[in-house]
Structure 1
Amino acid sequence: MKTISASFQLQPIAHLARFFFCATFALFASRIATAQGFSVEQVMSSPFPDNLTAAARAPRIAWAFDAKGVRNVWTADALDFAARQVTHYSEDDGMALASLRLTPDGRTVVYSRGSELNSAGEVADPTSNVTKPNQQVWAVDVDKGEPRYLGDLDCTREGCEDIELSPDGTTAVWAARGQLWVAPVSGAAPAHPVAFVRGENDSPQWSPDGTEIAFVSQRGDHSFIAIYNFGQESIRYLAPSVDRDGMPRWSADGKQIAFVRIHGLEERLPLLQVRSNPWGIYIADASSGEARAIWRSTEDLIGSLPNLTENKSFHFVGNRIVFASEQDGWNHLYSIPATGGAATLLTPGEFEVEDVAVSRDARSLTFSSNQDDIDRRHLWRVKIDGGKPEALSKGQTMEWSPVELADGRTIVCLGSTATSPAMPYRLTSSGREMIAASQLPAEFPSAQLVVPKQVTFPAEDGLIIHGQLFVPRGRTSAGPALLFMHGGSRRQMMLGFHYMQYYHNAYAENQYLASRGFVVLSVNYRTGIMYGRAFREREKGGSRGAEEYQDIFAAAKYLQTLPIVDAKKIGLWGGSYGGFLTALGLARNSDIFKAGVDFHGVHDWSARGIFRGGPGGQEGGGPPDRVEAMRLAFESSPNASIKTWKSPVLLIQGDDDRNVDFSQMVDLVQRLREQKVPFGQIVFPDEIHDFLLWRSWVRGYKVGADFFDRVLVKGESIETGN
């Protein structure tokens, strides 16, 4: 919606005439707003799809839909792919669905419900219900739609939900409270621990015959690959060492296991020294436990374990091992014979790979990447042993999360465009067809959204930065503008609705801000992904110098060159790492940035992690450069520049944030008060980092947009120091 402002100088006339004029103008303006604008609720009304999966032996797919915070399981069957709602949860209750699995026959869906635990052992409850919630594993038969409880999950890390079904689909295993738990999918017996094993045990993988489970036993500074045998009720370890082993993968015949090995942890390493993380691929005899390396990375930085897609890219396929490596500077797929030999590069070029799926016949891979379209995602196929990748999708659309059906031919995925939200799709010979199209609300304002423009600009050091420019419809004169910075920082914003729900929401907010008359530039600053390792791994990034801030400064300078931008009315907003950069911009350059909205940002790097003190901070222990690292971390933080912070800010955070301590906001507010800096605050009790309630996002985004309108458009003053 365009901002309409007018100044009227009326001659003295009758009060009645003035009343009729004002009433008529108000009605006219209201009709314009109705015709041209849309609400935050409308642009966030689409159901967000996630956890797309397929049955191994049936023509059925399943996924989770989050519709305005109401999360449910859905399925569809080939060939018509008519969508069917399986569960019937009905509240925006903050109970997330994760780790969706279909039994091989497609008759039952297994999933987790509820958030991971915080440090106090609590499942998040942003509804502030008086009954303590639990994170649990559930199963539901597609034909009945009545969920049954299998057991408690209660894992302790974000994204830790990992339910694995036995090959026959009768048993589920998952990691909970440091041990592996199993339960019959039928619900006939309660869940119980597989066995007592020291350490924190996770990453379960069933053997092809279902008689054993391989898993990772984390022991702090080292880890083992272990195998539990159900018949013998025994544990055996594969080539135990002082190193850290992970990602076990069975061969199709169950005789071998591939795994990744990286060095064990070394104590008292310098914090500021950038070190390589070399790794190797090992093949173990599943019976004897003997293992040998078939591939080793180089010892230099570029040979380091990518820590990006290495887990979902690692597969034992036929007689070859598929893995991800950045040895050429880009995150690519390789394959190598299980017997060893030279690795074959499968995806050459200046692009990066993300989602990877193995074909049913074990001859090819389907993957998503930004090949030939660096700020989007498309699907590609490549043979396991090499050859030229084949494009499966292209154009102005985006696709991710590919899944091949049991027939070995049909591929489904999730996808979006610049003006249509994420939905499930079936790939066709001519493009793609939407699944569950009837669930896209009529109120969703696709026709009123703008198509962001792909832009690039140089930072001060010459590095080229990518961004997406949202321009309000009909904008021809100078007006207010905003920068948006994503979190992560290992993220990339794109020319369409994002595949992560957090940034799907942020993209919707940028569209809403554009409808309110703001030019918005979404900045893919350095330390982000998909532009190569050298762009992502910066020696002076984050707490080591915040060199990425020069990209934000350059983005502001770019906006100032545009005739549609008023250089005196530029603000910025972002969440998490983007909140950090928002606060840093306001603290260092209130002369440029006149307002900011900071969602759960970091404000003092030195208050996090090793800098908190404890054993690592005592004399004779901890990193040898701790003092210098702490000094640099603070200087890289917004708090270090608090004395030059003048512009108003709106701070938004949940107080059960498990990613950024709520104390970061509490501490900043005291400093802003001391400096008499205008600020507003929204605190969501019991809400986490990635808000679980749809209504939390809606309120934050509405108030954020209003805040920018008050400061940058209307020129209102925000109360100082309160």
Structure 2
Amino acid sequence: MKNLKLSFWICVFLSLVTIAQTKEITLEDIWSNGTFRTERMDALHSMANGQQYSVLDFNRETRSTSIDIYDYKTLKKVETLVSSANLDDILYFTDYTFSEDESKILLATEQESIYRRSTLGKYFVYDVKTKTVQAVADFKIQEPTFSPNGKFVAYGHENNLFYKNLETGEVIQMTTDGKKNEIINGITDWVYEEEFSFVRAFDWNADSNKIAFIRFDETNVPEFSMDVYGSALYQTQQVFKYPKAGEANAVVSLHVFDFETGTTQEVMVDKSYSDFYIPRIKWTNDADVLSAQYMNRHQNELDLWMINTSKNTSNLVLAETDKAYVDVTFNLTFLKDNSFIWTSEKDGYNHIYHYDKTGKLINQVTKGNWEVTDYYGYDEKAKTIFYQSVENGSINRDVYSIKLNGRNKTRLTKSEGTNSAAFSADFSYFINTFSSATTPPEYTLNSASSGNLIKSIKDNDVLSQSLTDYKTSNKEFSTIHVNGNDLNMWMIKPADFDENKQYPLFMFQYSGPGSQQVANRWGSSNDYWYQMLAQKGYVIACVDGRGTGFKGAEFKKVTQKELGKYEVEDQIEAAKQLGALPYIDASRIGIWGWSYGGFMSSNALFKGNDVFKMAIAVAPVTSWRFYDSIYTERYMTTPQENPTGYDENSPINHVDKLKGDFLLVHGTADDNVHVQNTMRLVEALVQADKQFDWAIYTDKNHGIYGGNTRLHLYKKMTNFIDDKLGDKLEANKEDKTKNEIKIKG
């Protein structure tokens, strides 16, 4: 009797454990409840002394924000530098920037997004010593920036540039010709912001007496308009300049405003350019010498100029060329002697180079058949460069140090996965952010000289523990040999995977040039969705085909002038190989993607109509003729020069091949990939008499989010997958239930 009772309680305990470990992920967990939210460190800034750092903290009880200072060695809070709870004019701030001497702080409030990177906001300057606050302006402005001496703040407003004297309160207007959809001074236009990844197109010189800026004349750039439906009786329109492939770009010019004379002069270089870009400007350590990068429209020539703004002279110090294109980076770093650090793919892989101020190569700092993926900075005292690379495998990231002469390379991070670093100002410490497919983000303090762990700062152990309650599966990394290449792949199988059964396969990819989806890092919200689908009985796979990044320039640039050809061939062939596996049902293979991934999934379904049963395309490009000039022409040249490259691989021209099930999704306020892409594809499908499903999200941009939107979208996609691929899943579940009953019996 005693043994029977013991057996009973053991069974109860095991049942409870089993239940605890088989909790199922829901869409509400992912998109509504914040169940899988990760802890992070916000707005980390290393203080100039190199021994302390600041972070932005939010107090949920008082609904206030503060800038708190922490000691690197002890990780203890030293002081609260400023809290909105003590400021009469500011309820809370969302970001902050120090002046160079850290005597003043720029506080951002009431920020609102314009496009992907640009914002408008009200800004205040907080004086650390006097604990006083002054508004930069009484209206919303863009990109306020301290002068190096901390006495001025320059900013953009309604397409013109201004600066405020913080000592006198005087505001000076530097430009007067700014006009919406015609002239922009010092702030990038839409296409520069999106494709060259910056908004502030002005820069202070070292002596705080000159500002260089780029002027955009977009008068002749065609306009694009989007209806904004809102809640009023009549819709409104957003009208903005958007140069599509082959159309007129803004005419750019470089100018310098001189504080002493109060005048602006256009800067010219000693070379005649037509239809060109200025993707970067940056002052050197010499207050009179400005560096500027000029690039031809094809983006396969990049010139680095040194311009003496006092003597009106210019020197071409570096000229990079490539058969395909030259990448623009933010890695240009000037040393004290005005020699400079530069990164380039000229030997076939992205590496670090050191040049003297005239452009003569001193040495190639890093070498090897691997890529430098981030440049963190240069320690002048130790003559050491810090960087991130994929030397330990293209799906991993590690932090390294190396001497400027290329010697004494040291791997500073120890854990295999994705490591990224934020260094102290004196390069004595770094805060490492580590994650992997099995470990959510961890923040640790490490020694910059050895990489050794000093202390743990923050982790996500609570999330890790809570995930043990859910029925999840490992993300399995491997390679698949496709079309002569070993392609990186991950796969997620159901937790109760049975190799004697057959499962539907659902593939995800992005596939854009230089991108990467197969990486050993903690997943995004989509990964929880994949886990949810695996719970239902799907196998999920992702393959990075030709054209993706971090495996060398040749692998990345093979798609040049034919976007959508080799990438689609790789997805189709990978699906065929996976479909041949004994546990995959080759009659039930689907594929999906967003943006470039939507372009790809559409093409895969049309061109691979004997392989894919269904596809979902979210916010897809359907013809590269509809997309912007800088991105598209970088890989395709213009449609006038390369019409077949544009048309032969555009989904809109292959609708007649559709056999499977197709779900098409777009937001009407997508300023990036315009809803025009979907509307034109819809018309082509209708005229080809092809049935399909589609969903339009009102006033939603390229990200399709806000309120209940993401939950609604993922419910729609999940239901579509279940309907088109999951027809045998219920039968499998019934078989499993019967087996369980037999076992219990």
TM-score interval, normalised by the smaller of the two chains:
0.7 to 0.9
Q: Which residue of 2 aligns with 1:595?
A: 614
Q: Report the secondary structure of 1:301's partner residue.
A: coil
Are the counterparts in 2 of residues 497 and 504 from structure 1 also a CA contact under 8 Å?
no
* 1:195 aligned onto 2:228: no
* 1:481 aligned onto 2:473: no
Shift of 1:447: 7.2
1:176-215 alignment to 2 at 5 Å? 177-183=158-164, 193-196=173-176, 200-202=184-186, 203-215=201-213
Q: For 2:406 and 2:637, how far apart are their aligned partners in 1?
A: 47
Indicate how the Cα distance of structure 1 residues 49 and 532 shifts in structure 2: closer, same or farther if over 3 A, else same.
Answer: farther
Are the counterparts in 1 of residues 104 and 126 from structure 2 also a CA contact under 8 Å?
yes
Q: For 1:690 and 1:277, how far apart are their aligned partners in 2?
A: 30
1:50-129 alignment to 2 at 5 Å? 52-57=44-49, 59-62=52-55, 77-79=70-72, 80-81=74-75, 101-104=97-100, 105=102, 108=105, 110-111=107-108, 113-117=111-115
Residues 273-292 of structure 1, C-alpha deviations (whole Å, 9 max, x = no match): xx672233333334323222
1:655-666 alignment to 2 at 5 Å? 655-666=668-679
Q: For 2:724 and 2:351, how far apart are their aligned partners in 1?
A: 46
Are the counterparts in 2 of residues 43 and 445 from structure 1 also a CA contact under 8 Å?
no
Are the counterparts in 2 of residues 151 and 183 from structure 1 also a CA contact under 8 Å?
no
Indicate how the Cα distance of structure 1 residues 694 and 480 shifts in structure 2: closer, same or farther if over 3 A, else same.
Answer: farther
1:116-515 alignment to 2 at 5 Å? 116-117=114-115, 135-139=120-124, 150=137, 163-169=144-150, 171-175=152-156, 177-183=158-164, 193-196=173-176, 200-202=184-186, 203-218=201-216, 223-241=252-270, 242-243=272-273, 244-245=277-278, 247-263=280-296, 277-297=300-320, 299-301=321-323, 304-307=325-328, 310=329, 312-319=330-337, 320-359=339-378, 361=380, 363-400=383-420, 402-422=421-441, 424-428=443-447, 429-431=451-453, 435-437=457-459, 445=467, 448=470, 449-460=472-483, 462-477=484-499, 478-486=502-510, 488-497=512-521, 504-515=524-535
TM-align CA RMSD: 4.4
Residues 165-209 of structure 1, C-alpha deviations (whole Å, 9 max, x = no match): 3224454434455433435789x9697643347854432222223
Indicate how the Cα distance of structure 1 residues 43 and 360 shifts in structure 2: closer, same or farther if over 3 A, else same.
Answer: farther
Q: For 2:402 and 2:485, how far apart are their aligned partners in 1?
A: 32
* 1:526 aligned onto 2:559: no
- The counterpart of 1:711, out of the listed 715, 724, 743, is 724
Are the counterparts in 1 of residues 206 and 286 from structure 2 also a CA contact under 8 Å?
yes
Q: For 1:711 and 1:142, how far apart are their aligned partners in 2?
A: 62
Q: Report the secondary structure of 1:387's partner residue.
A: coil
Scaled by the length of structure 1, what TM-score is found? 0.74
Shift of 1:237: 4.5
1:572-587 alignment to 2 at 5 Å? 572-587=591-606
Q: For 1:416 and 1:259, how far apart are their aligned partners in 2?
A: 37
Shift of 1:605: 3.0
Are the counterparts in 1 of residues 639 and 646 from structure 2 also a CA contact under 8 Å?
no
Indicate how the Cα distance of structure 1 residues 246 and 490 shifts in structure 2: closer, same or farther if over 3 A, else same.
Answer: closer
Residues 342-395 of structure 1, C-alpha deviations (whole Å, 9 max, x = no match): 242122112222332224647333222212221122222233443343222143
Identity, in percent, stands at 19
Q: For 1:467 and 1:193, how far apart are their aligned partners in 2?
A: 55
Q: For 1:280 and 1:682, how far apart are their aligned partners in 2?
A: 45
Indicate how the Cα distance of structure 1 residues 175 and 700 shifts in structure 2: closer, same or farther if over 3 A, else same.
Answer: same
Residues 16-62 of structure 1, C-alpha deviations (whole Å, 9 max, x = no match): xxxxxxxxxxx99x958963545424565236767654343572234
Indicate how the Cα distance of structure 1 residues 624 and 139 shifts in structure 2: closer, same or farther if over 3 A, else same.
Answer: closer
Q: Which amino acid aligns with 2:121?
A: Q
Which structure would you say has the larger Rg? 2
Shift of 1:714: 3.0
Q: Which residue of 2 aligns with 1:637?
A: 650
Q: Report the secondary structure of 2:712's partner residue.
A: helix
Indicate how the Cα distance of structure 1 residues 349 and 46 shifts in structure 2: closer, same or farther if over 3 A, else same.
Answer: same
Q: For 1:285 and 1:341, how far apart are their aligned partners in 2?
A: 19
Shift of 1:658: 1.4
Q: Which amino acid aligns with 1:537?
A: K
Deviation larger for 410-419 or 551-560: 410-419
Q: Which amino acid aligns with 1:101?
A: T
Q: For 1:174 and 1:430, how far apart are their aligned partners in 2?
A: 42
Indicate how the Cα distance of structure 1 residues 418 and 334 shifts in structure 2: closer, same or farther if over 3 A, else same.
Answer: same
Q: Which amino acid aligns with 2:312?
A: G
Where does the alignment leave 5 or more consecutive residues of structure 1 unmatched? 1-26, 90-96, 125-133, 156-161, 266-274, 611-622, 718-722
Are the counterparts in 2 of residues 214 and 225 from structure 1 also a CA contact under 8 Å?
yes
Scaled by the length of structure 2, what TM-score is found? 0.72
Are the counterparts in 2 of residues 212 and 230 from structure 1 also a CA contact under 8 Å?
yes
Are the counterparts in 1 of residues 511 and 600 from structure 2 also a CA contact under 8 Å?
no
Residues 101-127 of structure 1, C-alpha deviations (whole Å, 9 max, x = no match): 334428635458322259xxxx99xxx
Indicate how the Cα distance of structure 1 residues 348 and 650 shifts in structure 2: closer, same or farther if over 3 A, else same.
Answer: same
Q: Which amino acid aligns with 1:40?
A: I
Q: Which residue of 1 aligns with 2:702?
A: 689
Shift of 1:557: 2.0
Are the counterparts in 1 of residues 125 and 135 from structure 2 also a CA contact under 8 Å?
yes
Q: Report the secondary structure of 1:536's partner residue.
A: helix
Residues 117-168 of structure 1, C-alpha deviations (whole Å, 9 max, x = no match): 59xxxx99xxxxxxxxx7225358699999977576677xxxxxx5533224
Are the counterparts in 2 of residues 55 and 405 from structure 1 also a CA contact under 8 Å?
yes
Are the counterparts in 1 of residues 352 and 364 from structure 2 also a CA contact under 8 Å?
yes
- The counterpart of 2:23, out of the listed 35, 39, 49, is 35
Indicate how the Cα distance of structure 1 residues 280 and 447 shifts in structure 2: closer, same or farther if over 3 A, else same.
Answer: farther
Q: Which amino acid aligns with 1:165?
A: F
